[in-house]
Amino acid sequence: MKKRTQFLFQALILVFFASAANAQLKPPAAIDALLSKHTCLVCHKVETRLIGPAYVEVAKKKYTAEKIVELIYKPKPENWAGYPPMAAMPNVPKAEALKIAKWINSLAKK
């Protein structure tokens, strides 16, 4: 009985760590609301390439938040070879774009 309990305990630990390692980062609720409102999530995911690059990949470019806002308004396809060109998003209010950009940059620390 002791071996069985020990085995179950070890299996539970393995399941916990495996699921933690595979857990996807999720944006905070306020950022998720902005990403949904402006349809960003149609083309981008936090950690996975979709139509556009994953937000963690954008964070690795080390753009300033202001540069990200600029690229939201006037994307430069040459910055992302291998991806379809992003549509310009001039309808995103600057304050909201800046919140999104700061969150994207926070992913570089993860």
CATH, range 25-109: 1.10.760.10
Higher pLDDT pick, 19 / 108: 108
Quote the pLDDT of residue 74. 98
Tokens of 12: 């539970």
Of the candidate ranges 10-19, 25-34, 60-69, 83-92, the one whose mean pLDDT is the lowest: 10-19
Q: Give residues with Cβ within 8 angstroms of 47, minimum separation 6.
A: 24, 25, 54, 55, 56
**pTM of the predicted protein model:** 0.77
Mean pLDDT of 48-74: 97
Long-range contacts of 8-12 (CB under 8 A, 24+ apart): none
74-105-86 Cα angle (round to 5): 25
What is the total residue count of the chain?
110
56, amino acid identity: V
